[in-house]
Each structure stands twice: as structure tokens, then as C-alpha cells.
Structure 1
Amino acid sequence: MKKISRKKWVAAGTSALLSITVVAGCSSGSPAPANQGTAKQENQEPPKLQALTYWVGLASNVAATLKSFGDMTVYQELQKKTGVNVTFQHPPVGQEKDQFNLMITGKDLPDVIEYGWTGYPGGPEKAIKDKKIIKLNDIIDKYAPNLKKILDANPNWKKQVMTDEGSIYGFPFLRGDDYLLVSNGIALRQDWLDKLNLKMPETIDDWYNTLTAIKKSDLNGNGKPDEIPLLISKGDMGGSVAFLGSFGVNYDFYHDNGTVKYGPIQPEYKQFLTVMNKWYKEGLLDPDFAVTDSKLKDAKVTGNQLFATVMSTGSGIGNYTSLVKNKIPDFKLVAAPFPVVNKGDKKMWSARTYNFSGGVAAAISTSNKNPEATAKWLDYAYSDEGKMLFNFGVEGVSYKMVNGYPTYTDDVMNPKDMSMAQAMARHVRANFNGPFVQDKRYMEQYAALPEQKDSIKIWSEPTDERKLPPVTPTSDESSKFASIMNDVNTFKDEMFNKFIMGAEPLDNFDKYVKTIEGMGIQEAVKIEQSALERYNKR
């Protein structure tokens, strides 16, 4: 059996990751005695190399060039350091939710399951009560000193990673700095604005006038009326609340001074739909907005057709700029401020997230025969050494230290035959997510262009005062909530397209509201209100 030196198993800057034996549900061997982690190490045999099964979605930036997380530098190095051989199980890209629902019903589960656990039917607390994953509070206290230290030092983060009942259900993805909380918003072609001698639009009326001017001009110079002024889909309504937020509501639940409301039944939502319907009729909104996926969107941006849409700092502004730099002269994408209805109105909505959001965490399943050892393995990522590995990779391979600053190599920053986002994802998890603490210094380089740095500042302007924190319904509430919202969301999404495209007259908005009320939306609002009040008491 391969021997791993004790020196390699030390987490720098915090506490030692003590010698352990990790066993997967399918591997042979006996679990380490409960007191083995606290035994003296001098005369102890090195840990045995055993298997660990790990279920996780394959990020698109990784999937572009690699077949598995196991091919990434970060996990190859992690195996060298810990002696733990991990077999990753990836559902097909785009089928994560369906595959999760199939997988989680089984009895022999993977040892570690990384998922957005707020999406589990009934929520993460229900997953614990269903005996699918284990409650980690005591295990973290005893076997994950690095994560424990971070949560104890950041009580607001700790508040976010636990349920109302106080359960910690997974090793979380934590954004380690407020600088990392905003990376998505509306972007537009500054070079097209300049050609028309137009100012950056600030109000809804400004946008109407700007989009109209774009529609009437052959800005890509091909002699065809193929310019698309704006692409906004219902998918853009979720995170960025693009244009919808201008009216003070969102596409889901929000709170107004502590009172929970449901955005898509408010009068302000009708105002938004009325504007979008007008823009659609006049050809200002992409006629294919309802069926344009990410690949088609990419083609419209890089094909010199699209003026404005929602995108991110990295895979949007940075990626597109890189892809077209030798193809489209003067191409310049910049962030646009979130618009207001009237000049001087308060901007209340952006895509700002929380340090922990979406419930994305690596949970330890009940099939795992040695959760304590697995917790120690996961805890390595929260050490000083682990943070460097997950954010920057291996020194000399994906980064080098320059005046004490971890600087990505040219292979990452200026790759050939792939985007920077894809090159980075070959080595680290910094530019998507995972069970570790994301480092601000990653974004300072990932968003290296002036336009990218400006985007973070511009998209951070709104107060987000109406945004709900990451609340969780109780397991009893969850099944009722899920039952209501499955029907409501299906109907809401269907009607979003119909109202904008004119297939459903806006005169029927009140009828639409009554239909959603008949589905039980007020009961769902009460559940969210109770969840908010419990969250505030955590």
C-alpha cells in the first residue's frame, strides 16, 4: 500500500489534518477507531490509500476540456497531499436535477454529494430526517477545525449555512469577500453607443429611445437589418432581476420592510410586462427571447448582432471580449447601470448574492462508513494551504508568487484554443463553486479588464434592501411549499412568455393573479414569512 508522509497531511496555518483511513461505501477495510484522530502520530502507520465516491455536477467550464473533476490539477494534487483516491460521479451536463432526484432515492449513495440542498424536496433538514445525509455539527466541531474556525470567526456566514433548526448539512461554498458577491448584470456594446453618439441609458425611457435607435441603424455594417437591440429571458429575471427590478419587485418572493410578498402578482409586475410587451411588438426585444439558450446567445454576441443582454463579469464581458478581439474592430462590452423608472429613483435590485447562497454544499451521505475521516478530508480545503490550492492550484503550474501575491500563469491568463474561464477551470474551482472559501485575489485577476472591474462597481450600486436572505422552510412546511410552487412556477413561466409576446392580453392580468391565488400562493407567502422570522432569530 502506498505510503503518504505525515508532512503532506498538514493544513498550513491552522491545525494538523491528523492521520486517517478513508473508506468508501464500496471499499474494503475497517473504519478507523473513533479515537484514532487524537492518537499520537510519532509511531503510527501512515494512512492507507482508500477510495471515496463523490457525486457532483460537472461545471460547464470544466466539461469544455476535461471529462471529470479528477482530471483537474486541484484534485490530482489533493490526492498527493492526502492519500485519498476520489472517484467522481458526474451527471450529464444539463440533467443535474433529474439525475440527483434519481440518485437520492437509492439506498447505496455516494460517500459525498455536492448539491444545492435548498433544492432537495423538503429542504436540507428534510434530507437529514430522510436519512440521506448526516447532520454535521458535532463532526465539524471535532474533525473539521479549519471550517469551524472560519464559521466561529464569521457568525453571519454560520447563520447562512445552517437550517432554522440549527443543522449544518454540508461543507459550504463561501465567498470570502464582499467583492465577490456581485458578478452579473446588464451589459451593452459601448462602441455602438459611441457610433450613435448616445449616452449610457439610465431610465426605462432612456432605454426605449436607445434600443429604438439601435434597431434603426446598421451598426454591424453588413447591410442587413439583423441587429438585436435587447435579449432578456425569464432566466435573466431570477438572478439579475434585469429591468424587472426597476419596478421594485422581483420574479419570486421578496420582502418590503419585513413583509414577504410574491413579485409576479404585484401591480408593478404588470407595469414591467406592459413595457416588455411594447418593446417586443416594436422589435426592440429579441423575437426569439423565449427559445434562445446560452449557445445561441453566445452566437448572437460573437456574431456582432446583439447590443444588450444579461451576462457575468468573467464568462460574459471577459470571455466575449477575448473571443472577438481579432474579429470585430472596436468591440467594447461594458456594464450598464440597473435602470430606474424615473431619474433619481432608488435602485433596489441587483444580482448580489450572499457569502453562502443556493445551499451549495458537499454533504456526507448516510452510506458513508467513515464520516469523521471524510470530514477531515473535506476540511483540508478550508485550511490556508487548501484555500491556496482550490483558488490558485499548484505553484509553478497554474500560479507563481509575485511579491507575495499568487499570480496566475500565462497558460491560465492567456491560453490558446480556449477561453480564460476554461483554462482556469482545468486547475481550480475558483471561477465556479465548491466546498472551499473563494479568494478575492482570484477575481482581481479573472476580472482583469478595466471594463470588468467597472462592472463589479456598477452592478453593486443597488441597495438590494428587498432581497430575502437564504431562508429555509421546515421539513413540514417544505412539502406543502413545494407542492404549491411547482404549479405556480410552471404557470408563471408560461404566462411570462405569453404576456410579453401578446399571446395573452395584458387585460387578463387580474385573471392570471386570481389563478395563482387559487393555487395557494398566499399559503406559500405565509411559509416564507415564517421562514424569514425564524432566520432573523437564528
Structure 2
Amino acid sequence: MAIEKAGIQNSTGVFVTAFGIAPEFYVKDNKVLWGPAQPEFKDYLKLMHDWYKEGLIDPDFPTRDGKETESQYMRSQLAAKMQDGTALPLKTEPEGIQFVGAPYPKLNDSSDDIHWTYRNNMDRGNWTVITRDCRNPEAAVKWMDWGYTVEGANIMNFGPKGQTYDEKNELGMPQYFKEFAPPNWDIKNEVFRRHNGPYLKSDYRSNPRRSIDRLEKFRVVWEEQQKNHDDWHLPPVTLTAEEGAESATILSDANTYRDEMMVKFITGTEPLSKFDSYQSTINGFGIDQVCELYETALKRYNKR
């Protein structure tokens, strides 16, 4: 199995969420916590270390780049992928290699709840602003507002009807013309639509790969678990300038140390008996202060 260089998949939280924590900041009982600082994180590291020791994880995962990992799949040297994605199956199919989507792992049985899964937030972190140098701010505001109308959102997501697609099916998925359908859509990606910007993004993320039935089955598996199991997600809160500066300083040190120690714990160069020392060092960076900053931001968010 291929895992991320640092040993954890932040966007999906695969495996780590089975232990009742998240890979990053999350909200539990109105309290903001940071997964890598929790005691349960040791259980996740032990699982990864055991699998690494058994040869189930790529021994060179800390130094692999994306292209090297992809070539391993093409040569049938890897059989599982920790993160979500649909691009790889399209590349491996011509080689006779088939992928299937797997549900989020659970620690014990099917009755266990998973509270943190991959989420396609409305706020993707791609913000648009109008600067004071804008020559026509009124027109800029109108254009940005247009992206949140039915007409504007449709064009931003799928391109102009009649030029890129004909109709939508019962699921709301556009039926693209041949020249815009996979595999051609990657080439013309930015020609007929915008991937990110000031508009209401479709649940299909304006991704024509979702029109491929065999790939859509992957997402069906994941989304069935996501319906009621994402209540620990921290919403898109905003820190003040002062809060952001303090948080960035602390997280820079904490993330660097976490990444270094995760690799050491998983590969066995550091024994897990030193986890308490790791946890003490992480807390010493000021993670609790950052959690408090996010709790304050969460209160502001909930009042809006």
C-alpha cells in the first residue's frame, strides 16, 4: 500500500478516523482538538508501524514522489491507495489493472460511527476580492454575484449549454459533447469552464469524470458513509490577522515535528515508547493555544 510521505492522509483521514480522531483540527462536543496531539494517535501509528514491519506498506514511502508511486501501480507493485481519486484508475485500466472503491475502515464492526470523512466544502480556500485599484467595482460585484445565480453557476460549472453539453440527466449530470468528454476534458479544462472561483460549485465539482459510471461507483461507496458521519468537521472559520499570525508560527513548528516523528514511528527508527515525549513536545509548541483560537473563531462563525 502507498501512504503519504508524512504517513497520514490529511484530506480524507483514512484509517486515522477509525480511532475516533481526525487527521487535523476537528470539533467534538463544541471543543476544538488537533488529532495528532491526542492519545489515540498512538494507536494509529502502531497500526501503520505494524503494517510497515509486515511489508504491507511501501518501504520507501517517505521519499516517493507522485510519479514514482504511479509507476509502481502500473507495474502491479502496489495494490492499495490511501487517498481518494479517480485519475489513477483511468490510467491503469489499459494495463488490465482494475481498482475498486473501499469504504472508510472502522475499528471494530459496522456499528462504529465515523465522524470525520472527506468533505467537499463550499469554501475551498479560493477566495476572490475586489481591490481598491479596481476601475469598476460595481461591475466586478455584479460579475461575482452572477456566479451564484442558476445561469452563472451552470456556466461556471459546466460551460455554455449547447456548446459543451446538451442536456443533464436525472442526477443533474451534464451529458458532454464528445470533444469535451473524457479523456479530452483535461486538455480543454480551463477553456470552457473555471475549476475554482466566485460561484456556487456543483456537487459534481464540474468534473466530467463523474459521467463515467464505473468511477461514480467509487464516490457512491464514500458518500454513503458521509451522509451522517461528518459532524466533527471544523466549518470554514476565519481567524483575525493577529490570530492567524500566532497560529501560523505555532503550526509551522508543530507540523514539521509531527511529520518527522510520524515517519520515525512508522518505520521504527523511533520506538512508540517515546510517544509520550512526542506528545509533550507537540503540546509544548502551543497546540492548545491554537485550538483556543479556533474555538473563538468558531463562536464568531456560529453567531453569524
TM-score, reference length from structure 1: 0.51
Alignment counterpart, residue 350 of structure 1, candidates 117, 129, 147: 117
* Residue matched to 1:287: 59
Shift of the 327–252 alpha-carbon distance from structure 1 to 2, 3 Å rule, reads: closer
Shift of 1:444: 8.4
Instruction: Encode CA deviations 1:376-412: one digit per residue, 9 max, x unaligned.
Output: 2333333333323222224444222478974211112
* Residue matched to 1:438: 201
> Percent identity over the alignment?
35
* Residue matched to 2:107: 341
Any idea what SS the aligned residue of 1:334 has?
coil
Any idea what SS the aligned residue of 2:295 has?
helix
* Residue matched to 1:515: 281
Shift of 1:236: 5.1
Q: When the two structures are aligned, how many residues end up with a matched partner? A: 297
Instruction: Encode CA deviations 1:94-118: one digit per residue, 9 max, x unaligned.
Output: xxxxxxxxxxxxxxxxxxxxxxxxx
* Residue matched to 2:222: 459
Contact 1:237 1:250 survives alignment (8 Å): no
Shift of 1:372: 2.2
Shift of 1:512: 0.9
Shift of the 240–402 alpha-carbon distance from structure 1 to 2, 3 Å rule, reads: closer
* Residue matched to 2:181: 413
Alignment counterpart, residue 210 of structure 2, candidates 447, 469, 478: 447
Instruction: Encode CA deviations 1:29-87: one digit per residue, 9 max, x unaligned.
Output: xxxxxxxxxxxxxxxxxxxxxxxxxxxxxxxxxxxxxxxxxxxxxxxxxxxxxxxxxxx
Shift of 1:235: 7.4
Q: Which amino acid aligns with 1:279?
A: W
Instruction: Encode CA deviations 1:95-151: one digit per residue, 9 max, x unaligned.
Output: xxxxxxxxxxxxxxxxxxxxxxxxxxxxxxxxxxxxxxxxxxxxxxxxxxxxxxxxx
Q: Which amino acid aligns with 1:351?
A: Y
* Residue matched to 1:488: 254
Contact 1:333 1:451 survives alignment (8 Å): no
Contact 1:253 1:260 survives alignment (8 Å): yes
Shift of the 258–326 alpha-carbon distance from structure 1 to 2, 3 Å rule, reads: same
Instruction: Encode CA deviations 1:272-329: one digit per residue, 9 max, x unaligned.
Output: 00110111122111112222232223322333332111344xxx33x3333333332x
Shift of 1:246: 0.9
Q: Which amino acid aligns with 2:98?
A: K
Shift of 1:239: 0.8
Alignment counterpart, residue 427 of structure 1, candidates 188, 192, 206: 192
Higher strand share: 1
CA distance, structure 2, for counterparts of residue 403 and residue 341 of structure 1: 38
Contact 1:252 1:263 survives alignment (8 Å): yes
CA distance, structure 2, for counterparts of residue 401 and residue 353 of structure 1: 25
Q: Is residue 532 from structure 1 mapped to residue 298 from structure 2 by the alignment?
A: yes
Shift of the 311–410 alpha-carbon distance from structure 1 to 2, 3 Å rule, reads: farther
Shift of 1:528: 1.6
1:115-134, aligned counterparts within 5 Å?
none
Alignment counterpart, residue 380 of structure 1, candidates 146, 168, 172: 146
Q: Which amino acid aligns with 2:2?
A: L
CA distance, structure 2, for counterparts of residue 332 and residue 504 of structure 1: 37
CA distance, structure 2, for counterparts of residue 311 and residue 425 of structure 1: 25
Q: Which amino acid aligns with 2:126?
A: V
Shift of the 249–433 alpha-carbon distance from structure 1 to 2, 3 Å rule, reads: same
Q: Which amino acid aligns with 1:456?
A: R
Instruction: Encode CA deviations 1:139-187: one digit per residue, 9 max, x unaligned.
Output: xxxxxxxxxxxxxxxxxxxxxxxxxxxxxxxxxxxxxxxxxxxxxxxxx
CA distance, structure 1, for counterparts of residue 130 and residue 68 of structure 2: 38
Q: Which amino acid aligns with 1:353?
A: N
Structure 2 gaps, min length 5? none
Shift of the 300–403 alpha-carbon distance from structure 1 to 2, 3 Å rule, reads: closer
Structure 1 gaps, min length 5? 1-229
* Residue matched to 1:327: 95
Contact 2:153 2:199 survives alignment (8 Å): yes
Alignment counterpart, residue 263 of structure 2, candidates 488, 497, 501: 497
Contact 1:279 1:285 survives alignment (8 Å): yes
CA distance, structure 1, for counterparts of residue 152 and residue 7 of structure 2: 34
Shift of 1:466: 1.6
* Residue matched to 1:309: 81
Shift of the 388–443 alpha-carbon distance from structure 1 to 2, 3 Å rule, reads: closer
* Residue matched to 1:257: 29
Q: Which amino acid aligns with 1:407?
A: Q
* Residue matched to 1:232: 3
Q: Which amino acid aligns with 1:325?
A: E
Shift of 1:352: 1.6
Indicate the larger mover: 454-463 or 297-306. Answer: 297-306
CA distance, structure 2, for counterparts of residue 442 and residue 506 of structure 1: 41
1:35-434, aligned counterparts within 5 Å?
230-233=1-4, 234=6, 237-312=9-84, 316-317=85-86, 319-328=87-96, 331-343=97-109, 344-357=111-124, 359-401=125-167, 406-415=174-183, 420-429=185-194, 432-434=195-197
Q: Which amino acid aligns with 1:536?
A: N
Shift of the 421–298 alpha-carbon distance from structure 1 to 2, 3 Å rule, reads: farther
TM-score, reference length from structure 2: 0.87
Contact 1:247 1:268 survives alignment (8 Å): yes
Q: Which amino acid aligns with 1:409?
A: F
Q: Which amino acid aligns with 1:435?
A: P
Any idea what SS the aligned residue of 1:385 has?
helix
Q: Which amino acid aligns with 2:219?
A: I
CA distance, structure 2, for counterparts of residue 522 and residue 320 of structure 1: 39
Shift of 1:244: 0.7
CA distance, structure 1, for counterparts of residue 12 and residue 200 of structure 2: 23
